[in-house]
Structure 1
Amino acid sequence: MTDYAIGDIQGCHDRLQAVLAKVDFSPSRDCLWVAGDLINRGPASLETLRFLEGLGDATRIVLGNHDLHLLAVVLGGHRTRKKDTLAEILDAPDLERLVAWLRQQNLCLYDGDRDLFMAHAGLPHIWSVDQALACGREVEAVIRGPEARAYFTGMYGNEPARWHDDLQGMDRWRAITNYFTRMRFIAADGTLELATKESAGAAPNGYQPWFQFPRDDQVRVIFGHWAALEGRTGSERYIGLDTGCVWGGALTIMNLDSGERIHCDC
């Protein structure tokens, strides 16, 4: 059995199949960790979603901002955006089943044997692994529960920009969501800067890439979300797997134990 992790697929189903073929992936023996943004912007979001759902227990998936956007359209009444490629999903006869499956996925995952954490945007230095997992479980319960429609109605927004333990309700859920699915640049006190999407060297005054802040542990972190990094973080413990497939870059899959990365050009 081999565990692999893959970066942002974003509906690039043919590239997904190509890179899985390169590693001879078999759901009967292997497991695929998906770092969020399964869908949107690529040409085959519905096909991608159906394929990943069909893998069943052979996947470990975290939700990305594009995945949450689909749920916000379906459950929160938000409109699709000009560049979205979600129409095929929204018109699909199995939409209800796919949405129910997506709602059961996680915001973050942790493998204690490997000391390995995965979230779409990363792990902020202000949270221990245990605190991050607790925050993730809190919002996952909301997404799966009766408050889901209220959550998706109010999910969007940049405030509060800084975490406080005493945050409550929608402010608390929105902050957790932004740390896990939208974070790139962050200040020492945990304040998020969510406007800048360029490479690590474009940090606004007073901010740094989240992975440049020291931590008190040795956890390794798998993340996607930041295509402008092209997978480069300057550290072996912070593993960026979004290599911009949907933007003409590559789709990257990594063997979790050997660290070998395989690319499929897009």
Structure 2
Amino acid sequence: MAMQLVQINMKARDESALGRFWAETLGWSVSSEGPGVINLLPVGFVWPDPAAVCVDIVASPEPKTVKNRVHLDLATVSAAHQAELVARLTDLGATPADVGQGDVPWTVLADPEGNEFCVLEPREIYRDIGPIAAVVVDCADPRAMARFWGQAVDWTLHEVTDDHAVLRSPKGVGPYLEFLRTPEAKVVWNRVHLDLAPYPGDDRAAELARLRALGATDISLGQIDVPWTVLADPEGNEFCVLGSG
């Protein structure tokens, strides 16, 4: 038994504008399943598929107040591509961001609503991966997070140290899921979070029970009568379990 990691959920005060930014950034198509929700996915993509982790941008009136604990790393194939991508994203409205990174070969930017992301220097591990190299989660204990999330979505552990853990779909496609040790504690709900879904035919209630047995807890963010379930991982990072894919 396992869940599918199907999408990244971003909150936005202007979901349409932020959706346009990320669609241009990723080269993906835009649709909407209803008011206040913008769906981004690769052109021709049939949801869900581990070849891509899609992006949902959801309207929320609350402003961003702290550095996000979940962010995207974007892949590049050459130094020239990295420079061109940074310049193009700056033209689209991205701005330089300082998260204490110091002198590093990647570039840290923020989207028009302040969500931090990285444009990586070329790395062989991310060659031919698509625009998103990795979904990165700040945490206190990468080893423990890798254990929970590895079992939650049945992804393969590629690397683990006290400071860093790396997972990827066992099919060897799509972005990596990485956990990075950081000193900052979680203080507010995450404006960017992961969404999971059961595989077709799986028992959703049984999957929810399995996640709780792994260490997930039920939390309330004010949701009332919704078709998804909001849980938190062992470090308190919110995630949603959607209906069957």
Asked whether the two chains share a fold, i.e. TM above 0.5, the reply is no
More strand by share: 2
More helix by share: 1
TM-score, structure 2 length as denominator? 0.30
TM-score, structure 1 length as denominator? 0.29
